[in-house]
Amino acid sequence: MRTIEITTTQNVVIQVKLATLMDRIVGFIVDLIIMTISFLILAGIILNWLLESSSDEWWVFTILTITFSFYTLLFEMALRGQTIGKMVMGVKVIKVDGGQPEFIDYFRRWAIRWIDIWASFGAVGMISISTSDKGQRLGDKIADTILVKKKQTSGYNLKDILSITSTTSYTPVYPEVTGITETNMLTVKRLLNRYQKYPNIDAYTDMIRQTSKAFETNLDLKRKEKNHVAFLKQLLKDYVILTR
């Protein structure tokens, strides 16, 4: 599985896993199955209505077909970079700088699908993805987007990347955090992830409390958060923004 380093607009360098070609293909097949089944169901309902009402308004099938052609665009906009197929495969569309795509970006990706996938039977898209160092099809290159795995094995996940605020408007709560090594902060991130996944395990609760007190003592901090988890999350956020 390929990984790349992206530099966010806040000059944060993050390593992310790219979606594989197989991720894309399977996700596309899932979406195609959903579209086909949905289309057939709705077409059957419309056909039954036309026959019962003796209507000759067959143009409604044209409208239905055009509507379904917007499936990918509408879902990526509604689900912030995902379709149902992408959700199943655990992948998401983001900007090359780690930001959240806007409507025009989704539209460009969608428009070029006709070349990447439909007109070339997927050949153009597969060749582009396979030869691109960022795993981009033509639509991605034009929209300046990449398709990445939502779950990353690095210390920071995709949600962290997209939620980082601009350094120009951000005032750190604990600027002393720059004295902590990156290795220690990555350990804190992994500990928080484990605690959030298993909040009822006493061992993780104790580790969170001990880690929080250790940072408070070693950095001689005046804590502004009573909650240990909130304190560690704030330290992590300050560290990411101040040291990258």
Digit-by-digit pLDDT tens for the chain (244 residues) are 688 877 766 555 677 889 999 999 999 999 999 999 999 999 999 888 888 887 777 788 888 889 899 999 999 999 999 999 999 999 999 999 888 899 999 999 999 999 999 999 999 999 999 999 999 999 999 999 999 998 765 445 555 555 555 555 678 888 888 888 888 888 888 888 888 777 777 788 888 999 998 888 888 888 878 889 889 988 888 888 887 6
CA gap 88, 102 in Å, rounded: 22
Q: What is the dihedral of CA 113, 114, 119, 121, to 10 degrees?
A: 30
Contact 149, 213 (CB under 8 A): no
With 0.75 as the threshold, say if the pTM is over it: no
Q: What is the pLDDT of residue 150?
A: 85
The pLDDT, as a whole number, for residue 11 is 58
Q: What is the pLDDT of residue 154?
A: 46
How high is the pLDDT of residue 183?
Answer: 82
- Report helix, strand or coil for 6: strand
- The SS3 call for residue 152 is coil
Q: Cα dihedral angle (137, 86, 101, 147), rounded to 10 degrees?
A: -40
Tokens at 87, concatenated: 């959700």
**φ, ψ (nearest 5 deg) of residue 191:** -65, -45
Residue 218 pLDDT: 87
The pLDDT value recorded for residue 37 is 95
pLDDT, residue 8, reads 65
